[in-house]
Amino acid sequence: MSAASQETAVSTGRVTRTFIYLVLLLFALYYLLPLYVMVVNSVKPLPEITGGNMMSLPQTFTLEPWLSAWSTAQIGVEPTGLKPYFINSILMVVPAVAISTVLGALNGYVLTKWRFKYDGIVFGLLLFSCFIPFQIVLIPMAVVLGKLGLAGSVPGLVLVHVVYGLGFTTLYYRNYYAAFPTELVRAAMIDGAGFFRIFWRILLPVSGPITVVSVIWQFTNIWNDFLFGVSFGGTRQPMTVALNNLVQSSTGVKEYNVHFAGAILAALPTLLVYIVAGRYFVRGLMAGSVKG
């Protein structure tokens, strides 16, 4: 290739990259625009917003909307703020994510390293559960929770999310462990290691990437869920239901700055999870996709 051709190729490549970066920047700005509107209006006094200045930076900076959304905002008929509902969500999400992840890991371990008759059918049924819409399980789950005495409670919500998320976590761990050498498991069996010892000493230490995937997926789905929370939460409703009640409250003036602050508070935990561990998500998904 001549020097002129090389210079033309480099110039064309530079122009192409510049165009791609500009398009990506445009999409990024478009995607971040709602977040910008929420943030700047959450630190404005209400008169600035009602005056038609939603896109401008705040002339008077205030954290009063955040304090109100957290502790004194009208949620339905009670001026409790989002704090008690945030605690409900934490009490629901942490055990639900932990239990569904551990059970999914054990299921994946059994379905790949302790094969049994009709294990493919069992995995197929678990996989089928991933595609069942939320609305279909509402009535059966309500009956089960009522018989167990867990209706309208945080443990009931934990059970609902564990059952619904088990298919996903099993799928992740099953595909991940399928790429793990079965010979190592057999060697451990010959050395006298049992079921849980093999899982604890051999499989679990190498499960970091897929565990991050499972935790991020479950945390995001459970925290952002609205349907199960409003259907089975009773008096222990999660954050998303409280945010809806805050926005839909018809008492007094619509405090848009408080609504924006509440929306950010509701989204903050999942945002932090993706910031801290998001780069491991795709890496964990790809780790078990290719065997060898």
What is the pLDDT confidence band of residue 238, given thresholds at 50, 70 and 90?
Answer: very high
pLDDT of residue 289: 55
Of 180-184, 206-210, 252-256, give the lowest mean pLDDT range.
Answer: 252-256
Examine the pLDDT at 9 and tell me if it is beyond 60. Answer: no
Tell me the percentage of the chain whose pLDDT exceeds 90: 44
Instruction: Go through the domains of the chain in sequence order and give each one's CATH number.
Output: 2-67 (no CATH), 83-290 (1.10.3720.10)
pLDDT, average across residues 271-285: 77
CA distance linking residue 110 with residue 187, whole number of Å:
17
* pLDDT per residue as tens digits for the range 35-63: 999 999 999 998 888 888 788 888 889 99
Mean pLDDT of all residues in the chain? Answer: 86
pLDDT of residue 292: 43
* pLDDT per residue as tens digits for the range 62-71: 999 999 999 9
pLDDT, average across residues 159-183: 91
pLDDT, average across residues 77-89: 89
Residue-wise DSSP of 70-119: IIIS-BTTB---SHHHHHHHHHHHHHHHHHHHHHHHHHHHHHHHS--TTH
pLDDT, average across residues 194-210: 88
Quick check: 113 and 177 in contact, CB under 8 A? yes
pLDDT, average across residues 30-34: 90
Distances (CA, A) of 201 to 131, 186, 197, 205: 33, 13, 6, 7
* Closest of 126, 96, 101, 100 to residue 111, by C-alpha: 126
pLDDT of residue 21: 92
- Looking at residue 107, its amino acid is N
Is the C-alpha dihedral spanning 273, 223, 79, 255 positive or negative? positive
CB under 8 Å to 269, separation ≥6 — which residues? Answer: 89, 93, 219, 223
- Quote the pTM value: 0.85
pLDDT of residue 80: 86
Assign 191 to helix, strand or coil.
coil
The rounded Cα 144 to chain-centroid distance in angstroms is 25
pLDDT of residue 145: 92
- Does 13 or 210 have the greater pLDDT score? 210
pLDDT of residue 92: 95
Q: Which residues on adjacent β-strands are paired with residue 78?
A: 75
CA distance linking residue 276 with residue 273, whole number of Å:
5
Residue matched to tokens 């001026």:
79
DSSP class of residue 203 equals I
Examine the pLDDT at 22 and tell me if it is beyond 70. Answer: yes
pLDDT, average across residues 246-272: 85
Burial (CB count <10 Å: 0-12, 13-18, 19+), residue 178: middle
Examine the pLDDT at 10 and tell me if it is beyond 60. Answer: no
* Closest of 33, 36, 54, 35 to residue 45, by C-alpha: 54
Tell me the percentage of the chain whose pLDDT exceeds 70: 92
pLDDT of residue 13: 72
Examine the pLDDT at 287 and tell me if it is beyond 70. Answer: no
Assign 175 to helix, strand or coil.
helix
What is the pLDDT confidence band of residue 271, given thresholds at 50, 70 and 90?
Answer: confident
* pLDDT per residue as tens digits for the range 99-136: 999 999 999 999 998 888 888 888 888 888 888 888 88
